[in-house]
Amino acid sequence: KEMEEKVSTTLSGLEGELKGTFYPLTGMSKETQQQLIDDHFLFKEGDRFLQAANACRFWPSGRGIYHNENKTFLVWCNEEDHLRLISMQMGGDLKQIYKRLVTAVNDIEKRIPFS
């Protein structure tokens, strides 16, 4: 839960192309959750291996998703990893995708240092 709050606060400070909204899984409607999963923007509850490792305890508490307005930059909070940063878009402009990811990592690292 503490991690989710730190991530939400940090990401709310992003600007420009990265500006977006954090959506906690707790309280999210099943319909919204399923739509985000179907659109490949959201992770599902862990498989049997993650469950056996207790990686899904307290599901969905402490988990969430952030995405920018264009849904080309996403952050998954407490899926399998604490943070998973994703940059994607239609087409083959890998330079733009990589540039967005590097910009995001640098901006986030200024706000919360990575270990």
Domain boundaries, the chain: 2-111
Confidence (pLDDT) at 80: 65
Please tell me whether 40 is known to bind a ligand. Answer: yes
Q: Which two tokens stand for residue 43?
A: 């992770």
Please tell me whether 84 is known to bind a ligand. Answer: yes
The domain 2-111 is placed in CATH, from the list 1.10.10.10, 3.30.590.10, 2.60.40.10, 3.40.50.1000, at 3.30.590.10
Give 10-residue mean pLDDT values along the chain (115 residues).
Answer: 83 94 86 80 64 60 86 85 87 95 94 72
Alpha-carbon gap, residue 42 to 45, rounded angstroms: 10
Confidence (pLDDT) at 46: 57
